[in-house]
């Protein structure tokens, strides 16, 4: 298995994986959102970056993508430094437990070290038990609680 940066020719396989990710989290996505995200990931001046896990195991053709990770730098005021933030991590369900998630996370850890980020942070749903089993092996679960504020929660007019 090889972990590498996303390239433009990955679009069809990346899109299939990302649609799987969105479906897992029950988030609607459409072609316009996918176009925007893919453009961001290929734009060297945009903060979002993408990695893919490529496999050749006889079940899929050489160069087949089985996982993805999207990440970025994030300012951490309390640390007075940038840290890494993992926005998305997804592995094809047929390949879970095969090392793709582990390899993607370890690659991200190496990127964090190379960039001087003291930590790579991410969030996941409490009921994402399978992924959390991997996360608990490689990372420290924090006590932070995440909130989302928007027009629906505050009553402000939606724009």
**Domains of the chain, with CATH numbers?**
2-154 (3.40.630.30)
pLDDT at 159: 72
Q: What is the reported pLDDT for 60?
A: 63
Confidence of residue 158 (pLDDT cuts 50, 70, 90): confident
What is the tens place of the pLDDT at every residue in 55-75?
876 666 667 999 999 999 999
Please name the residue ranges forming H helices in 4-159: 11-24, 31-42, 100-115, 129-138, 151-154
Q: Looking at residue 133, what is its pLDDT? A: 95
Q: What's the rounded Cα separation, in Å, for the pair 8 and 114?
A: 25
Prediction pTM value: 0.92
CA angle 136, 140, 142 (to 5 degrees): 115
């Amino acid at each position: 298995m090889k972990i590498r940066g996303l390239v433009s020719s990955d679009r069809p396989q990346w899109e299939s994986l990302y649609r799987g990710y969105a479906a897992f989290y029950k988030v609607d996505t459409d072609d316009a959102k996918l176009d925007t995200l893919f453009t961001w990931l290929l734009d060297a001046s945009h903060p979002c970056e993408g990695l893919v896990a490529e496999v050749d195991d006889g079940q899929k053709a050489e160069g087949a993508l089985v996982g993805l990770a999207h990440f970025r730098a994030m300012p951490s005021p309390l640390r007075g430094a940038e840290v890494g933030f993992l926005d998305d991590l997804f592995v094809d369900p047929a390949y879970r437990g095969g090392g793709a998630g582990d390899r993607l996370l370890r690659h991200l850890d190496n990127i964090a070290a190379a960039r001087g980020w003291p930590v790579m942070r991410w969030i996941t749903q409490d009921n994402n038990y399978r992924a959390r089993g991997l996360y608990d092996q490689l990372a420290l679960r924090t006590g932070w609680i995440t909130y989302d504020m928007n027009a629906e929660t505050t009553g402000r007019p939606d724009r």
